[in-house]
Amino acid sequence: MGERKTERAREIAALQLGLDLGITLIDTAEMYGDGGAEEVVGAAIKGRRGQSFVVSKVSPHNASLRGTIAACERSLARLGVEQIDLYLLHWRGSHPLADTVRAFEQLQASAKIRDWGVSNFDTRDMDELAAIQGGGQCASNQVLYNLAERGIEWDLLPWCRERRMPVMAYCPIDQGGRTLRSAALKQVAERHGATTAQIALTWLVRQQGVIAIPKAVSEAHIRANRAALDLVLTPADLADLDRIFPPPTGKMPLGMA
């Protein structure tokens, strides 16, 4: 979102429809649309701040002590809010994690962010973060996770669950679309009168401590995503999905998109 002015009204309407349907978490970042996405989010939540939970991210090249604070202030201005609910480091860069954490702490102390977290951090990264002074206050880790990309189930997801740290799953419906073309997945979807995308979302949000953040701009897509929350998968469905998309049997590299 925020890349083309001709799409601005439609994008704002899409986010507001999500709020109307009770989908309150909106994920964005300073790098999306070079700040344009944050401006779209700001327009969508104007007058509805109490209905929204806003997540944004600082880019790695800005994640020094001073750079993180300056980036957050720019994001606040584009969003038109006084506080970001959850502020993430988008992925690891060259700046020391300790400096980024110190910046997050200062932003919390000044009430410019409520909580902070990370994105695209694997288990080793999380161990390193936890060893830093203040690193234990990390509130969330946002990573690639969907039916076709289950590698985090081996060690990262258990690590986060043990610490009661929510995992935010981006690309929850598999960007490439190969998941949705699975004939076996279509059979599961047919049993529920649903789409394969809805089954993929339902499977994900039933996971303990997992939040899905699917992208959607069209009204039909947004309503379909919301309807997925009302589906209930049976033990037979889950067994079929494990057979089609088996869980990991060992450590796998963290996927990124």
Q: Which of the residues are catalytic? A: 32
* Pick from 125, 128, 122: nearest CA to 145: 122
| Distance in angstroms (rounded) separating the CA atoms of residues 3 and 10 | 12
Give rounded-to-5 percent helix, strand, coil for the chain: 50, 15, 35
Q: Give yes or no for a contact between 180 and 148, defined as CB atoms under 8 angstroms apart.
A: no
Place of tokens 């700040």: 35
Place of tokens 């102390």: 109
- Coil, helix or strand for 73? helix
Angle among Cα 156, 157, 159 to the nearest 5 degrees reads 65
Residue 183 pairs with which residues in a beta bridge?
A: none
| Distance in angstroms (rounded) separating the CA atoms of residues 25 and 27 | 7
| Distance in angstroms (rounded) separating the CA atoms of residues 79 and 100 | 21
Q: How many CB atoms lie within 10 A of CB 110?
A: 12
